[in-house]
């Protein structure tokens, strides 16, 4: 099985720009194709799931899966975990650190403009909590995350979890997901 992939090319003719769309047929390995085909149904299940709040997490929350934070109908962040309840608590607790409340940390960085990564101990992520502007912004961001809508879908396979996280972040254009290497 394969997919048609379009690639736009442009050329200059007599000062005008001409554009065309060329298609290439790409074969996909059957094992990977099976994984990809399973993504959209899980995506649909996630976005139609009733939202829950951190303060009222249900007892029947799946153990492993994908979670989505939304605010005012805007989908902001998607993550994956093998310990869903614990991971949501880490994101939302006031005591969360730069290592555990990563979504709130990203919000605080965006809100303060202090987004440049530093690999020096005195300027690193841990020290930002003591920064006179960033520290209060991080506390406020954790409180904000705790008030957001949360949706979850179970996914136990780690490869499907990884692909599903990327798929959902791409389709929903979640503002705070970053798949850059660090």
DSSP annotation of 50 reads P
pLDDT band at 7 (very low <50, low <70, confident <90, very high): low
pLDDT of residue 29: 82
Neighbours of 149 (CB within 10 A): 19
Separation of alpha carbons 56 and 109, rounded Å: 28
Encoded tokens for 179: 């798949």
Nearest to 39 by CA among 173, 176, 179, 159: 159
Residues 55, 125, single domain; the answer is: yes
Using CA atoms, how far apart are residues 19 and 5, in angstroms rounded to an integer? 16
- Mark whether 27 and 105 lie in a shared domain: no
Res 23 pLDDT > 70: no
Please check whether residue 141 lies inside any domain of the structure.
yes
Same structural domain, 128 and 155: yes
What pLDDT shows up at residue 45?
A: 97
- In whole angstroms, give the CA distance from residue 76 to residue 148: 10
Does any domain span residue 148? yes
Asked whether residue 178 is domain-assigned, the answer is no
Same domain for 101 and 12?
no
* Per-residue b or e along 82-119, where b marks 16 or more CB atoms closer than 10 Å to that residue's CB: eebeebbbbbbbeebbbebbbbbbbbbbebbebeeeee
Answer yes or no: do 122 and 145 share one domain. Answer: yes
- The strand pairing partners of 182, in sequence order, are none
Q: Are residues 152 and 64 in the same domain?
A: yes
> Is residue 116's pLDDT more than 90?
no
Does residue 177 lie in a domain region?
A: no
Same domain assignment for residues 68 and 114: yes
Domain that holds residue 134: 39-172
Same domain, 46 and 124: yes
pLDDT at position 24 is 61
Specify the number of domains making up the chain: 2
Structure tokens of 92? Answer: 């939302």
Q: What is the mean pLDDT of residues 153-182?
A: 94
Asked whether 159 and 29 are in contact (CB, 8 A), the reply is: no
Identify the CA nearest to 84 among candidates 169, 156, 2: 156
The answer to whether residues 152 and 65 touch, using CB atoms and an 8 Å cutoff, is yes
Residue 132 lies in a domain: yes
Both 7 and 72 in one domain: the answer is no
Residue 21, pLDDT above cutoff 80: no
Whether the pTM exceeds 0.85: the reply is no
Task: Give the tens place of pLDDT for each residue, 72-93.
Answer: 999 999 999 999 999 999 999 9
Q: Identify whether residues 43 and 87 lie together within a single domain.
A: yes
pLDDT-based confidence at residue 30 (cuts at 50, 70, 90): confident
pLDDT band at 2 (very low <50, low <70, confident <90, very high): low
CA–CA separation, 81 and 77 (whole Å): 13
């Amino acid at each position: 099985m394969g997919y048609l992939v379009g690639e736009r090319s442009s050329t200059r003719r007599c000062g005008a720009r001409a554009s065309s769309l060329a298609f290439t047929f790409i074969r996909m390995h059957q094992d990977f194709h099976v994984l990809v085909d399973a993504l959209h149904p899980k995506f649909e299940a996630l976005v139609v799931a009733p939202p829950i709040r951190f303060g009222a997490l249900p007892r029947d929350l799946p153990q492993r899966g994908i979670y989505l934070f939304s605010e005012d109908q805007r989908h902001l962040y998607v993550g994956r975990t093998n310990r869903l309840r614990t991971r949501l608590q880490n994101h939302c607790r006031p005591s969360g650190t730069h290592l555990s409340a990563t979504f709130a940390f990203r919000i605080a960085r965006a809100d303060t403009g202090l987004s440049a990564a530093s690999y020096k101990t005195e300027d690193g992520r841990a020290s930002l909590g003591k920064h006179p502007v960033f520290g209060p912004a991080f506390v406020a961001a954790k409180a904000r995350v705790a008030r957001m809508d949360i949706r979850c879908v179970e996914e136990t396979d780690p490869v499907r979890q990884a692909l599903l996280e990327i798929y959902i972040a791409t389709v929903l254009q979640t503002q705070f997901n970053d798949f850059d290497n660090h």
